Amino acid sequence: MNEFKQTFNSSLGKKLIMALTGLFLCTFLIVHLGGNLLLFSNDEGYGFNVYANFLTHFPPIEVVAYLLYLCILVHTIYALVLTIKNRSARPVTYAVVNQSPASWSSKNMGLLGSILLLFIVIHMSDFWYGYKYSHKIGFKEYRTDLATGKTQAVDYNPASLDFEKSVSTENNFEIVRVKDLHARVANSFSNIWYVIFYVIAMGAVSFHLLHGFQSAFRTLGWVHRKYTPVVYFIGTWFFAVIIPLGFAAMPVVYYIQSLM
């Protein structure tokens, strides 16, 4: 037990925890982007609102969500501890500038992480906290004609503040009543400053993952002449390009639509 504690209290142990939590957060980004792409569906928010309700009311997903929050916290704390330890171990700057080919992202992981932490706090308070604990988010009623498949959406005012979701069938219509998180998203993305900050944060995600994804595999010792190029390719093009662009496109598209 003491050896286990010593291992994870060492610098290597902390880096291992950083790598494992970081890779878990990478898998979350894939799932989160997949769900958020429903925002591009031309269905007046139906798919996204049902998806949001599922995430917050399906017990296994809720367990994973709290594991995610723990990983974010642990990843942040260990990053801070390692940064402070590295700086205290080298309190005086070198007289000769280090000419090693370290990337800009690797040299500025602390700055990138700070931007992301601020973004996560704002993002979760605006959407997650507002959705689960605030009564300021309205409701939507979706009536789908089972014969034609056409859906009509109208605002809905529940009789109780505890109302979350209902699904019923009436006169050949499927009626779904659910919290309208989509309206909250559209409202937030109509604010140019929120959109600019969101895009900047996605830029930070890009550079953070450009170094962090590859670094996690090196820390875990998963380095191989045959597979390392694959890791670099996935880390660069998928995690540092495609995923950040996918997230950044959402506020930009919604902001442009709000101007029309």
What domain range is 115 assigned to?
2-136+181-259
| CATH number of the domain where residue 208 is located | 1.20.1300
Using CA atoms, how far apart are residues 201 and 250, in angstroms rounded to an integer?
13
Instruction: Look at the chain and report how many structural domains it folds into.
Output: 2
Using CA atoms, how far apart are residues 244 and 225, in angstroms rounded to an integer?
28
At 95 the pLDDT is 38
Write down which residue in 127, 160, 179 finishes a domain.
179
What's the 3-state SS for 184-248?
HHHHHCCCHHHHHHHHHHHHHHHHHHHHHHHHHHHHCCCCCCCCHHHHHHHHHHHHHHHHHHHHH
Segment 196-217, tens digit of pLDDT: 999 999 999 999 999 889 889 9
Residue 85 sits in the same domain as residue 164: no
Instruction: For residue 195, give every residue at least 6 positions away whose Cβ sits within 8 Å of its Cβ, in sequence order, or none.
Output: 189, 251, 252, 254, 255
Write down which residue in 155, 179, 203 finishes a domain.
179
At 221 the pLDDT is 85
Write down which residue in 149, 179, 209 finishes a domain.
179
Residues of the chain with pLDDT below 70 are 1-9, 86-102
Give this prediction's pTM: 0.85
At 58 the pLDDT is 82
Residue 60 sits in the same domain as residue 164: no
In this structure, the strands spanning 139-145 and 151-156 are antiparallel
Residue 153 sits in the same domain as residue 37: no
Residue 61 sits in the same domain as residue 189: yes
For residues 127 and 185, is the Cβ–Cβ distance under 8 A?
Answer: yes
Phi, psi of 73 (to 5 degrees): -65, -50
Segment 49-60, tens digit of pLDDT: 999 999 888 888
At 211 the pLDDT is 87
At 4 the pLDDT is 52
DSSP 114-132: HHHHHHHHHHIIIIIHHHH
